[in-house]
Chain A
């Protein structure tokens, strides 16, 4: 099993550009989520999904979109990148929301100039 995979590992964008961060898991987990990690702030939830076709907002959703067309994939879209979105992004999956350990991907380091 590959677990949770994320691409790309690194990305540099210019302000205003859009892009999609990819996330996939092969553990048949229903719950998937996206976090951003900023110094001194821990991990903050951006969006999450409790199953294919169902998504919801987390703590910091502005500027991001998600969709969940399959159980395996949960892409995160930046609509118009801003310097404030410079961060490390982690995708995670688990059997259920909040009850079980979450398995994290390796992260994507994004810089917006």
Chain B
């Protein structure tokens, strides 16, 4: 069974500093996709960044970047130059395509990011 583990319930960071959120997953699939979603107090799920497992290059989106270690099944998110608007719950998610998965997303439990001035 596919599982996603986020071992940090909460992370605190000062404005302009960098924070790294960890995520590990368990899978026997070779082709899959990984995502980080942000959920602010509004509850809206916002896609932050995605990574295709077949790509060795780490994805980057402005101040957000990932460290994808396929062999270690690790997918961490780095937020650089943190801003007050980054405060939210962050979810790591894994998506795979087989005849019985139909592109379902498996989520981790989430990490609450607190940004202090």
- A and B are interacting partners: no
Residues of A within 8 A of B (CB): none
Residues of B within 8 A of A (CB): none
